[in-house]
């Protein structure tokens, strides 16, 4: 990412800096590859080389020979950007001691032996990443504060590439450290912990993912995991929250109370904030089973990530092994085709989630960090969420962003597009979403956000069981996808207009935790599409500093998501941004 640093200068110092920066980049890339395959010795050698080369590049850029580039108008901005790129890379190389310490904590990768984790190794790994966090955060600040705009094209692209790489690596270190700090307590370092595990079915969407069909319980004690015998169907076997005196926050009842969530398990997680829904799960389950210390929500893509590590399972009633490849389709579509009667279907669903978790927590695994990428992706995409009743642990889970919370710190703009199935069917298996968001400067120091969401229903109108296609609710035809489109926005934005199919539509303005939740009811016939356009006036803060946070909903198919952020004209920016 470092190939041209100073505007057209042929000074030896500049040429020397470019060469050293390139060498440092290559060494950093080699070190990252070595970490992924758990080769600690190679990673250490490459990090040492990277630091030497990057320090040399920094010294070359600071030499007296580059004085003209630092002082001459028009080139000083180029020099500052180049220096920030090298400085951020040097800091990131320093932060590499954290991942290296993780490898040293447990050579060969984290091990799960006979269902038990080594809590000492997890603690040492957490300490190593925590020690590296300040350098990682400083690296991120260095590249974020580097000048942008009015740069030569090669330097502009180098800055953008460095920003992506440094920010991604720094976030991984910061979030990984928080997750590892939480792990020992989660795994029962201070006494046994019990968790309710809830299966989320994305074929019938809800705010935190999909409806929660089945549950099981697991226990963690001193690192040892154990599958408990309690399992079943949520709506059938667990009490209603209203029956055990659960009291959600007032904003939750103001927004979601109209869907009767305290008496309908399928609607508890219409909120997009998992910790709020999880607290209701835990309180309700505790009334039946005694103290429950947290909740885990996992959908078939999360189960797929576990099966990639532990291997296939066999489940009574299914003719073939269930693997990481076929479990999403089996659990969200095929089981409803094969088992049209509710009792055998429920038995299979309960056995499936218990089999996958049972196989994983009794396995002997020692995956390299590269093998854990699938699990990390599942967490990052919202397919696996974890909540703890321990406040300190929950804070770490929030820092690691594996708690499914609404994390918008530092954002001047927030966007989340969610679908809530209103047809009591499994048609979201066929739902495909296209999301386009444009930000444009407007007159008189304003800016507009224009959101266009196209929903395509690829379901047939016949040929599948009624449980999948419907009609399961009055007034809805077979194959018709009736949905509540929920759009999450920051409090500083204001809705100007909402149109469906080119006609004005009613959008409610509700609250989801600390954010706005605009809701529009839609109906998409089988084989057809519907498009919604919403226009917002944005918070004036975006004119000084634009930072967008996307709040994502896990879905069966990956969204076609496009962002167009039109540059605010330089004449409209404060001098501090130039």
- Tally of CB atoms within 10 A around 177: 25
**Cα-Cα-Cα-Cα dihedral of 54, 59, 65, 71, to 10°?**
90
Lowest mean pLDDT among 59-63, 135-139, 149-153, 319-323: 149-153
Name the pLDDT band for 38 (thresholds 50, 70, 90). confident
Q: Kindly report, residue by residue over 42-56, the tens digit of the pLDDT.
A: 999 999 999 999 998
Q: Cα angle vertex 274, ends 322, 133, to 5°?
A: 95
The sheet with strand 446-457 has its strands ordered as 503-504, 494-500, 529-537, 446-457, 431-442, 560-565
Percent of the chain topping pLDDT 90: 67
Confidence of residue 64 (pLDDT cuts 50, 70, 90): low
Render pLDDT for 67-101 as a digit per residue (tens, 0 to 9): 666 666 667 777 788 888 889 999 999 999 999 99
Would you state the torsion angle of the CA atoms of residues 38, 44, 49, 55, taken in this order, to the nearest 10 degrees?
Answer: 120
Q: Which pLDDT band holds residue 219 (cuts at 50, 70, 90)?
A: very high
Using 50, 70 and 90 to split pLDDT, how confident is the model at 566? confident
Mean pLDDT lowest among 10-24, 93-107, 244-258: 10-24
Q: What is the pTM of this model?
A: 0.91
Mean residue pLDDT across the chain: 89
pLDDT (0 to 100) of residue 112: 80
Predicted local confidence at residue 171, as pLDDT: 92
At 286-309, the pLDDT tens digits run 999 999 999 999 999 999 999 999
Q: Are 201 and 235 contacting, i.e. CB atoms less than 8 angstroms apart?
A: no
Confidence class for position 158, pLDDT limits 50, 70, 90: confident
Distance (Å, rounded) from C-alpha 160 to C-alpha 551? 23
User: How many C-alpha atoms does 265 have within 13 Å on its Cβ side?
Assistant: 20
Mean pLDDT for the stretch of residues 510-515: 95
pLDDT confidence tier of residue 172, bands split at 50, 70 and 90: very high
Q: Would the pLDDT of 245 be above 80?
A: yes
pLDDT at 65: 64
Q: How far apart are CA 248 and CA 257, in angstroms?
A: 10
What is the average per-residue pLDDT within 227-234? 93
- Cα–Cα–Cα angle for 483, 488, 492, rounded to 5 degrees: 145
Segment 380-409 mean pLDDT = 95
pLDDT of residue 9: 41
- DSSP track, 50-79: HHHHHHHHHHHHTSGGGHHHHHSTTTHHHH
The predicted-structure confidence for 416-466, as pLDDT tens digits, reads as follows 999 999 999 999 999 999 999 999 888 888 899 999 999 999 999 999 999
Among the residue ranges 4-13, 44-53, 547-556, 561-570, the one predicted with the least confidence is: 4-13
């Amino acid at each position: 990412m470092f190939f041209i640093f100073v505007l057209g200068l042929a000074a030896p110092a500049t040429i020397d800096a470019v060469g050293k920066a390139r060498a440092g980049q290559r060494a950093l890339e080699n070190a990252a590859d070595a970490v992924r395959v758990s080769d600690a010795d190679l990673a250490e050698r490459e990090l040492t080389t990277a630091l030497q080369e990057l320090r040399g590049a920094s010294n070359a850029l600071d030499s007296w020979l580059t004085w003209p580039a630092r002082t001459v108008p028009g080139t000083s901005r180029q020099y500052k950007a180049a220096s920030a790129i090298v400085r951020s890379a040097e800091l990131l190389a320093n932060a590499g001691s954290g991942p290296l310490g993780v490898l040293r904590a447990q050579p060969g990768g984290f091990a799960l032996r006979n269902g038990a984790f080594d809590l000492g190794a997890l603690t040492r790994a957490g300490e190593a990443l925590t020690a590296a966090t300040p350098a990682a955060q400083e690296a991120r600040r260095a590249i974020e504060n580097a000048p942008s705009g009015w740069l030569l094209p090669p330097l502009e692209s180098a800055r953008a590439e460095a920003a992506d790489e440094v920010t991604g690596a720094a976030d991984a270190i910061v979030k990984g450290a928080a997750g590892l700090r939480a792990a020992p307590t989660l795994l029962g370092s201070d006494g046994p912990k019990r968790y309710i595990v809830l299966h989320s079915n994305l074929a019938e969407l809800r705010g935190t993912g999909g409806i929660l069909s089945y549950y099981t319980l697991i226990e963690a004690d001193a690192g040892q995991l154990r599958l408990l015998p309690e399992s079943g169907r949520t709506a059938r076997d667990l009490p209603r929250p209203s029956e055990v005196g659960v009291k959600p926050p007032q904003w939750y009842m103001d927004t979601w109370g109209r869907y009767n969530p305290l008496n309908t398990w399928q609607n508890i997680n219409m909120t997009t904030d998992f910790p709020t829904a999880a607290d209701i799960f835990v309180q309700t389950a505790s009334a039946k089973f005694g103290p429950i210390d947290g909740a885990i929500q996992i959908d078939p893509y999360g189960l797929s990530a576990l099966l990639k590590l532990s291997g296939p399972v066999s489940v009574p009633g299914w003719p073939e092994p269930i693997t990481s490849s076929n479990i999403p389709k089996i659990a969200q579509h095929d089981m409803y085709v094969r088992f049209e009667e509710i009792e055998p279907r429920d038995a299979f669903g309960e056995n499936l989630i218990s089999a996958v978790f049972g196989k994983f927590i009794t396995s002997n695994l020692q995956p390299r960090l590269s093998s854990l990428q699938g699990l990390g992706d599942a967490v990052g995409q919202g397919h696996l969420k974890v909540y703890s009743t321990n406040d300190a642990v929950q804070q770490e889970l929030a820092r690691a962003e594996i708690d499914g919370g609404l994390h918008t710190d530092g954002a001047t703009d927030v966007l989340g597009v969610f679908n809530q199935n209103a047809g009591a069917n499994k048609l979201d298996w066929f739902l495909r979403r296209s999301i386009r968001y444009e930000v444009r400067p407007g007159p008189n120091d304003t800016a507009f956000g224009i959101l266009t969401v196209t929903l395509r229903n690829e379901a047939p109108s016949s040929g599948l069981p009624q449980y999948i296609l419907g009609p399961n609710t009055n007034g809805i035809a077979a194959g018709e996808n009736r949905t509540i489109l929920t759009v999450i926005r920051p409090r500083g934005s204001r809705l100007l207009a909402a149109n469906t199919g080119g006609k004005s539509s009613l959008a409610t303005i509700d609250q989801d935790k600390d954010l706005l939740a605009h809701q529009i009811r839609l109906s998409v016939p089988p084989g057809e599409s519907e498009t919604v356009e919403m226009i917002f006036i944005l918070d004036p803060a975006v004119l000084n500093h634009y930072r967008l946070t996307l709040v994502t909903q896990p879905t069966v198919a990956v969204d076609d998501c496009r962002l167009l952020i039109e540059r605010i004209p330089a004449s409209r920016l404060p001098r501090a941004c130039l």
